[in-house]
């Protein structure tokens, strides 16, 4: 190790010196690390406890989604795409399918849209509960992890009851949601509509999630140690956030009241009454609190949607082999992590010609070199955790 | 409740920590004295949770129904289904009638080490030969044993649950 | 009986017996407290805890862990400083074991009643700082180095409140010998915590910091530095640190019980019963304090290093000095 010989020599030479000459050290945080949400590598130059230059190195999890999409058909890509942000599986499929539907020009039936909305909001609750679980764990408190994951199990059980998969639902089809097993000529079509008891279980689960969110707030929100660790740490000013392309709860915590659910029309959010929580200071505590409030708003949306699901077909009339006509479009959606967009270029085949994925976490962590300048090493962990990114979303 | 500024927080310094301690201690007493209602975990493998009937555990094959149309193998995103078949001639049903040609399976393997559990194969099969079953305990020690052949896929057919009832 | 009393009146035999007893107590206490921590933390998190090892209660879990640690490969990293690396866990364990020598388990039931009991205990327990620093420095790993330096800073900073908090109780008792302090509480009729509640609070906080437990867990910040100065330790060397932490919990809690909570005495129990009930009472009170430490660990997150230091230097030390002044005034004028 280079450090100790030089430091020892310095210490032995400087007998009575006012300033102790210290050397900087290059500390490699990751890629295998308990707190980096995946395989993120931070090359940090630290001087004692203070880091003055942090560069993230990404790409350890690049799976080549955009290249894979060039040789696959739309149902196959739907399967692949919900592995981008694996914590909120359903939310990744929706904008992709909406993009294909826009090019085709078909209209999705109401019941399918409601089911998509309910499952998207459940994906949001699931993602934010993971954040509630892992962020206090990085700060040192181990108990909120178990409380939050206990509630997330209820949401995942609901998702499994409808779609068959907990993390990778694969429930969207062009024109609606998955209607049935078995194709047109089969004798035994198993309709994949909502199973019996789904509405009652959802109401029950949503009540329990609200109670658990209250309990988590009581356990974590006022805790003096949490406040000392997160208030005033990692302040992200509004202009910087906007200029780096940060989106989602991070942007809202910095004071910008912007939510794509109110702006875009990929799902019928205009039918429901919900608020957008906005933070004041843009520090870590605000980012945590905005996500907590968003869980409550999502629960409100699900409760309203459950009470007013229309009946009807699950998928629009589409031909068996779907060829999307030539054209290009960009659809963006409010994913739990931020803004996710798909730029779809099609040339009339069964699969896209080019699919560009704009993932939320990639833009969110572009802010790391700016925000981590001059902070202490424990604060690096606190700030990184509060940005809530997932490496699958960063690297695709 | 659009802003997140705390309106009335922390009147007494130290109350936040006391609230946290209170949550932990009542959870502890609840878990000790009323585990039926408050215990969140079960003791696998002595007690097992049954998954919902629609859960995607393993794919079962009905060999009789399969006509070797290869639609599942073509639509699999991972190309993990390996099918080989041959055509057999069957005796005509009436004497002097046309000889019927029927395709029969030689080999139908699904490699579960590659399978993504997406369900596209089950969905596109026109002859209802593939079914989902919620069985999940089939891990092996060798990668090669994750390739389930025709007979093993036929055996999974017994575990396929009946279709769940629908809402309304 | 006569043969046994004759045998144990021989200095060397009784010395060997006491050494064996102390040596046996450490793994036993370590295992019991470790098991209690696993089960209690599980209940606080709505889980079950160890279940399979040893029937339905899982009491054999730590025995199984101990056996597991023993049969692991003895890894010393390439860049490590070998002799220092090997001695560090021994130092930490020895500094814990030595405290047990002066704890009074009952009237006359003490391994060695030193005149300067509490002074000896605090002096020996500060050896662990050296052990921790040795562990961090010699591991040949930047993370361990950072953890070791943080640990050294933290432990030195919290030695002062620990020592100063004790002085109030010593002043009230008038002697530094541990059994003398308990007898002073017996004759006064009340445990010293009633007067010395500030001192008790400071002692418990400083004890948590000495043990490197959450909320003062920066040196072993698991989510940041992957076990800090302990990163490179595996096998039975890790077992030493592990046992040392639990045994240290017991030792510091036992000191707190003796100094502030009345030791082996409960009001209303006659003297002769105390010879038999004393150890049980002491263990019960110690277990209450250990439970509080476990409770705090699983509820709170950890402080940052500079917040830790400012808590020690700006708050605990002035408070403990004020405590000494007030106790002194109390003793002189009343």
Q: Cα–Cα distance between A200 and B8 in angstroms, integer? A: 36
Q: Cα–Cα distance between A93 and A159 in angstroms, integer? A: 14
Confidence of residue A1 (pLDDT cuts 50, 70, 90): very low
The per-residue pLDDT for A349 is: 80
Quickly count: other Cβ atoms within 10 Å of residue A314's Cβ. 20
Which domains are delineated in chain A? Answer: 65-395 (1.10.645.10)
Residues 44-103 of C with CB under 8 A from A: 44-47, 79
- Whether C163 has a pLDDT exceeding 80, the answer reads yes
Mean pLDDT confidence for B16-23: 83
From A199-203, A268-272, B95-99, the region with the lowest mean pLDDT: B95-99
C-interface mutation test, from A142, A218, A285, A374, most C Cβ less than 10 A away: A142
The crossing angle, in degrees rounded to 10, of helices C271-299 and C197-210 is 60
Higher pLDDT, B12 or A187: B12
Model confidence over A55-107: pLDDT tens digits? 888 888 898 888 988 888 888 888 888 888 888 888 888 888 888 888 888 88
Structural contact between residues A163 and B54, judged by C-beta atoms closer than 8 angstroms: yes
Taking the CA atoms of C7, C13, C17 and C20 in sequence, report the sign of the dihedral they define: negative
Report the mean per-residue pLDDT for chain B.
80
Q: Cα–Cα distance between A347 and A324 in angstroms, integer? A: 8
Report the mean per-residue pLDDT for chain A.
83
- Whether C156 has a pLDDT exceeding 80, the answer reads yes
Beta bridge partners of A181: A190
From A29-33, A141-145, C20-24, the region with the lowest mean pLDDT: A29-33
Report the mean per-residue pLDDT for chain C.
83
Element of type H or E holding A45 = strand A41-47
Distance from the Cα of C76 to chain A's closest Cα (Å) equals 15
Which tokens is C262 given?
A: 């009345």
Model confidence over C210-260: pLDDT tens digits? 888 878 877 776 545 566 777 778 788 888 888 888 888 898 999 898 888
Element of type H or E holding C125 = helix C117-125
- Give the C-alpha distances (Å, rounded to integers) separating A47 from A24, A25, A44, C141, C152: 4, 6, 10, 16, 18
Q: Cα–Cα distance between C300 and A143 in angstroms, integer? A: 9
C-interface mutation test, from A20, A134, A139, A227, most C Cβ less than 10 A away: A139
Quick check: C247 contacting A, CB < 8 Å? no
* CB contacts < 8 A (A, B): 141
Q: Cα–Cα distance between B91 and B98 in angstroms, integer? A: 8
Burial of C206 (0-12, 13-18, 19+ CB in 10 A): buried
Tell me: cis bond preceding B59? Omega within 30 of 0 counts: no
Model confidence over C165-201: pLDDT tens digits? 888 888 888 888 888 888 888 888 788 888 888 889 8
Quick check: C205 contacting A, CB < 8 Å? no
The per-residue pLDDT for B106 is: 85
The per-residue pLDDT for C289 is: 92
Model confidence over B86-99: pLDDT tens digits? 888 777 777 777 77
Burial A224-251 (b: 16+ CB within 10 A, else e): bbbbebbeebbebeeeebeebbbbbbbb
Quick check: C224 contacting A, CB < 8 Å? yes
First to last CA, chain A: 36
* CB contacts < 8 A (B, C): 39
Q: Cα–Cα distance between A110 and A311 in angstroms, integer? A: 8
The per-residue pLDDT for B4 is: 41
The per-residue pLDDT for C290 is: 92
Model confidence over A301-347: pLDDT tens digits? 999 988 888 888 777 777 777 888 888 899 988 889 988 899 999 88
Which tokens is A284 given?
A: 């870590």
Q: What is the 3-state secondary structure (H, E, C) of A363-396?
A: HHHHHHHHHCCCEEHHHHHHHHHHHCCCHHHHHC
Which chain B positions have a beta carbon within 8 Å of A198's beta carbon? 167
The per-residue pLDDT for A17 is: 41
The per-residue pLDDT for A7 is: 60
Beta strand segments in C114-232, E: none
């Amino acid at each position: 190790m280079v450090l100790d010989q030089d430091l020892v020599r310095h210490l032995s030479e400087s007998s009575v010196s006012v300033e102790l000459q210290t050397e900087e050290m290059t500390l490699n945080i990751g890629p295998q690390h308990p707190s980096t949400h995946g395989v993120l590598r931070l090359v940090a130059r630290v001087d004692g406890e203070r880091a003055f230059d942090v560069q993230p190195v990404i790409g350890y999890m690049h799976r080549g989604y955009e290249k894979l999409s060039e040789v696959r058909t739309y149902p196959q890509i739907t399967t692949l795409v919900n592995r981008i942000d694996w914590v909120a599986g359903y939310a990744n499929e929706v904008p992709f399918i909406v993009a294909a539907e826009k090019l085709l020009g078909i209209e999705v039936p109401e019941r399918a849209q409601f089911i998509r909305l309910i499952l998207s909001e459940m994906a949001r609750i699931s993602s934010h509960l993971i954040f509630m679980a892992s962020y206090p764990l990085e700060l040192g408190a181990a108990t909120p992890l178990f409380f939050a994951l206990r509630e997330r199990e209820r949401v995942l059980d609901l998702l499994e009851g409808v779609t068959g998969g907990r993390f990778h639902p694969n429930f969207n089809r062009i024109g609606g949601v998955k209607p049935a097993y078995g194709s047109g000529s089969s004798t035994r079509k198993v309709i994949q509509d909502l199973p019996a008891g789904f509405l009652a279980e959802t109401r029950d689960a949503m009540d329990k999630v609200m109670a658990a969110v209250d309990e988590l707030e009581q356990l974590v929100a006022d805790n003096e140690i949490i406040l000392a660790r997160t208030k005033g740490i990692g302040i992200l000013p509004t202009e910087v956030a906007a200029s780096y392309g940060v989106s989602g709860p991070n942007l809202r915590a910095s004071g910008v009241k912007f939510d794509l659910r109110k702006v875009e029309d990929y799902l019928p959010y205009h039918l429901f009454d919900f608020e957008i929580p906005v933070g004041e200071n843009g520090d870590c505590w605000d980012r945590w609190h905005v996500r907590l409030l968003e869980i409550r708003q999502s629960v409100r949306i699900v409760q309203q949607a459950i009470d007013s699901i229309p009946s009807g077909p699950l998928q629009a009339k589409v031909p068996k082999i779907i060829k999307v006509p030539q054209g290009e479009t960009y659809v963006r959606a409010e994913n739990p992590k931020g803004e996710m967009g798909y730029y779809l270029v099609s040339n009339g085949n069964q699969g896209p010609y080019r699919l560009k994925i704009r993932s939320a976490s990639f833009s969110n962590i572009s802010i790391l070199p700016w925000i981590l300048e001059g902070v202490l090493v424990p604060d690096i962990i606190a700030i990184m955790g509060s940005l809530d990114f997932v490496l699958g979303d960063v690297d695709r | 409740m659009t802003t997140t500024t705390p309106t009335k927080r922390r009147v007494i310094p130290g109350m936040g920590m006391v609230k946290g301690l209170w949550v932990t201690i009542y959870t502890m007493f609840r878990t000790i004295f009323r585990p039926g209602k408050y215990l969140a975990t079960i003791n696998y493998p002595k007690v097992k949770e049954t998954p919902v009937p629609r859960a995607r555990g393993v794919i079962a094959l009905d060999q009789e129904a399969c006509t070797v149309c290869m639609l599942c193998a073509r639509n699999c995103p991972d190309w993990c289904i390996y099918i080989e078949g041959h055509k057999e001639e069957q005796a005509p049903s009436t004497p002097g009638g046309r000889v019927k040609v029927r395709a029969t399976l030689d080999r139908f393997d699904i490699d579960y080490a590659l399978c993504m559990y997406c369900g596209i194969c089950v969905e596109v099969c026109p002859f209802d030969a593939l079914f989902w079953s919620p069985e999940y305990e089939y891990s092996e020690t060798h990668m090669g044993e994750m390739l389930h052949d025709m007979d093993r896929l036929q055996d999974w057919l017994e575990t396929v649950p009946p279709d769940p009832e629908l809402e309304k | 009986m006569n043969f046994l009393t004759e045998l144990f009146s021989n200095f060397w035999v009784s010395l060997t017996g006491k050494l064996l007893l102390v040596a046996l107590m450490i793994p036993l206490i370590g295992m019991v407290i470790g098991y209690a921590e696993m089960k209690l933390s599980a209940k606080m998190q709505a889980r079950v805890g160890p279940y399979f090892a040893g029937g339905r209660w899982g009491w054999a879990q730590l025995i199984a862990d101990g056996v597991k640690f023993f049969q692991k490969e003895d890894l010393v990293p390439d860049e490590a400083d070998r002799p220092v690396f090997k001695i560090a866990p021994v130092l930490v364990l020895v500094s814990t074991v030595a405290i047990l020598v002066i704890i009074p388990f009952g009237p006359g039931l003490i391994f060695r009643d030193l005149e300067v009991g509490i002074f000896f205990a605090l002096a020996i327990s500060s050896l662990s700082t050296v052990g921790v620093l040795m562990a961090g420095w010699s591991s040949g790993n930047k993370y361990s180095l950072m953890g070791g330096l943080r640990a050294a800073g933290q432990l030195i900073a919290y030695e002062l409140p620990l020592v100063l908090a004790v002085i109030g109780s010593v002043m009230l008792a008038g002697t530094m010998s541990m059994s003398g302090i308990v007898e002073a509480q017996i004759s006064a009729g009340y445990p010293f915590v009633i007067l010395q509640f500030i001192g008790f609070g400071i002692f418990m906080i400083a004890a948590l910091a000495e043990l490197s437990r959450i909320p003062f867990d920066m040196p072993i910040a698991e989510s940041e530095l992957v076990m800090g100065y302990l990163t490179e330790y595996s096998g039975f060397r890790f077992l030493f640190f592990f046992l040392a932490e639990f045994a240290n919990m017991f030792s510091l809690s036992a000191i707190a019980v003796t100094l502030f909570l009345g030791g082996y005495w409960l009001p209303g129990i006659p003297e002769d019963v105390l010879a038999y009930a004393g150890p049980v009472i002491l263990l019960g009170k110690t277990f209450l304090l250990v439970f509080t430490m476990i409770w705090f660990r699983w509820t709170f997150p950890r402080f940052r290093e500079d917040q830790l230091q400012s808590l020690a230097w700006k708050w605990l030390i002035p408070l403990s000095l004020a405590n000494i002044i007030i106790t002194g005034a109390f003793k002189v004028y009343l």
